[in-house]
Chain A
Amino acid sequence: MTNNPEYFKAERDQEWRVALRSQIKNKERTSRERVKMPEQDPNIRNKNSLEVNLGLTEEQAVSEAQRCIDCPNPTCITGCPVGINIPKFIKYIEARDFLSAAKTLKETNSLPAVCGRVCPQEVQCEAQCFYTQKLKKPAVAIGHLERFAADFERNSGKISIPEIAERNNIKVAVIGSGPGGLAAAGDLVKMGYSVTVFEALHEIGGVLKYGIPEFRLPNDIVDVEINNLRKMGVEFITNFVVGKTSSFEDLKAKGYVAFFTASGAGLPRFMNIPGENYVGIFSSNEYLTRVNLMGAAKADYDTPVLFGKNVAVIGGGNTAMDSVRTAKRLGAERAMIVYRRSLDEMPARIEEIHHAQEEGIEFMNLNSPVEYFADESGRVNRMRLQKMELGEPDSSGRRRPVPLTSSEYDVDVDMVVVSVGVSPNPLIPSAVDGLNITKWGTIHVNPDNMQSNISDLFAGGDIVRGGATVILAMGDGRNAAAGIHAYIQQTLVN
């Protein structure tokens, strides 16, 4: 990814962009309202698994693209972990050259349709937009436009495949097929390497498939992106656990000279309160994986997931929102978020909270479970909540939840999903002798090139960050690909 201002300036000075800028005055551009993403009706969508956001029409996309003033100093790019040339792709949309817009996205982002749907743009590119920073107005809807361009290309049937360098027959292994792994694989294959992605599960996509529900990110969108990588020459091997099925040494013996580990943070954490082992209490990882990846909500499934009528989801992050909205779609009459801080402190994206509220999710803020109870068969039937208040801010500036004494009360539940965080997958860290691990169990790497202390092992995504976003994992994948390339060139080729 290039962050070269000269490059961006040269691109901006191209004739077509100069002409486009002169067509509409900035005053007019900035006076327009931000486009609103069309959505399914809340009372309909909360009973189906179809995508909530319907995507912009061509007219909406062009109109929104016209809001972008094509800044001489495009600060939005600094907020993008993969350095997309944002003004360029938006101006292509304004010029109605949607395929070029998609091609621009793919210069630095191998999964634009995914990122357009799940990236927290409001804290990344859109937070750095001129509108947000200077005008104090809603940012240009960069995420919506990204999705529009990627969807247009896919629906057009004219999907562009990036240029691939001549094959050099040097083998590189990518461990994990989530966003970090896919991004690294895409870049490495473009550079001419023979890339194999090893995936432990039976499906490619990692958290994009097992973690994010269909109503936010349809699996077929992910599949299209994966197929593009296949067409580019990436080999995928499923049901293969590196460190168990084969060791690193086995893979080295088969000719792999460098490894990128993006094995994620799939180990769920619990609160360790009494009764947490009762039947009907899941981690969000298990619940979402069974529904999203295994099809356990289907009637003919051999080991179906439980369908709760009164479902409580503990936590306030995006995974909690995904879980509670899934439970609602699977028939919960009462689907509750139980979160110990207030709505303002929730780590979930504002859009997800808003969607959940519209869909009838009950928000029980300033509450925390202290105990679960079960019926004779061991199935959870009640939870005890304690009310909280917000105390003094902690070192990070967030107000600490403080329990209110004698405030406990009981709520009937028949299913609970615990979504209070994850730990890094311990498999790779424990499979490599001498690998430098942080005290949080993540792999310690050089942030410039994602190289670990084992020179041929690079890592990125949640296994390094402890739980990040799709786009940050992808940024790591791209950084690591560049790092692996430099490593191979220095140590093997020269």
Chain B
Amino acid sequence: MIDLSTKYIGLHLKNPIIAASSGLTANIENIKKLESNGVAAIVLKSIFEEEILQQEKDLKNEVQKDSLIYSELSETLDYIDIHIKEDTLNVYLELIRKAKKETLIPIIASINCVTNYEWTDFAKKIESAGADALELNIFLNPVDTSDKDFEKTYIEITKNVTKKVSIPVSVKISQYHTKPAHVIQKLSETGATGIVLFNRFYTPDINLEKLELTQANHFSNENEYLNVLRWIALMSKKINCDLAASTGIHSAETIIKQILAGASAVQIASVLYSKGIDYVSVLLKELENWMEKHNYNYLNQIKGKLSQEKIQDPAAFERMQFMRYFSGIE
């Protein structure tokens, strides 16, 4: 009997597959379907701070167009941003409560934030609603040309949230950092119990016929895991918290590679869209088959086996080695 169980941010998972935050984790029907197909935990669709700000903007525009809604001296509209946040959060808290009531697997709430204003208080409410953990998906726009210290904001948000709640807090970060290793290190020292590498952004493309911008790949492709693999391998033994791999995880082989590099778990989303929710059971079967074929009984036997510290040529994961490799190609 193969034991695929793993521990991630203090949660006991029956296998390393977590359903990543996406539209598929936004309603209770899909959440139950994901559980019945074998995912070990679910990260609920993020509550997006940007979306709330957009809603506020839309409402104000709508109010200005509506001759009946009174805005001039209205106290309600004066505090509308707070009320929209409250309403959005209440819907989200209800989803957490429902998911906890109707499933047995860990439910991880997710906040996608761009500022460090009120999210710490929201985190407390999310904890009270019963979430087993919280994932902070901090998105600071890398095209910002100001001298704002993004890394500092990451650390501040994480510090504030971890101070307020007692549930595990993981941080999902982007790969756009001056020194990713430093950021990962600092986050692990700040109180984050897990770091998810990396989140994926909207990618624009150009349609040459229509001469207009289009959206490139909606979903990740199966080669996108490589950069994640490299950073998991580089950092997994250097920090005191768990790492989860995300982006480009489309097959059992990729899952095994990430675990070998040192990931405690993986997060999948695109493959669920492309191959369906029931593909989770295929991934799990293939995972077991590989373990069996290579005579492993426990996932922990392979975890970190090929992390940077464990391999004979540690520089293989670093950039210098990368440069040397390409300089040899004529």
Contact = CB atoms under 8 A, between A and B. Distances in A.
Contacts of A395: 57, 60-61
Interface residues of B, number: 30
Given A420-B78, A421-B78, A348 B73 contact: yes
Interface stretch (A51-59, A286-294, A465-473): A465-473
A104 B276 CA distance: 73
Report whether over half of chain A's contact residues are helix, strand or loop; otherwise say mixed: loop
B75 A467 contact: yes
B82 A467 contact: no
A468 B77 CA distance: 11
Nearest to B82: A271
B79 A465 contact: no
Nearest to A340: B79
A467 B121 contact: no
Nearest to A315: B75
B83 A421 contact: yes
A7 to B, nearest CB: 24
A447 B156 CA distance: 49
B317 to A, nearest CB: 37
Contacts of B327: none
A272 B86 contact: yes
A394 B60 contact: yes
B75 A320 contact: yes
Contacts of A349: 73
Interface in A75-89: none
A14 interface: no
Interface bin, chain A: 35 or more
B124 interface: yes
Contacts of A315: 75, 78-79
A421 B75 contact: yes
A392 to B, nearest CB: 12
Interface string B49-65: 00000001100110110
Interface in A85-131: 120, 123
B78 A316 contact: yes
Given A395-B61, A421-B83, A465 B70 contact: yes
B68 A269 contact: no
A464 interface: yes
Interface string A311-341: 0000111111000000000000000000000
Given A271-B79, A347-B74, A466-B76, A394 B124 contact: no
17 contacts: A265-B76, A271-B79, A272-B89, A317-B73, A318-B73, A319-B75, A347-B72, A347-B78, A348-B73, A403-B117, A464-B68, A465-B69, A465-B70, A466-B69, A467-B77, A468-B74, A469-B70
Interface of A: 120, 123, 265, 269, 271-274, 315-320, 347-349, 370, 394-396, 403, 405, 419-423, 440, 442, 445, 447, 464-469, 472
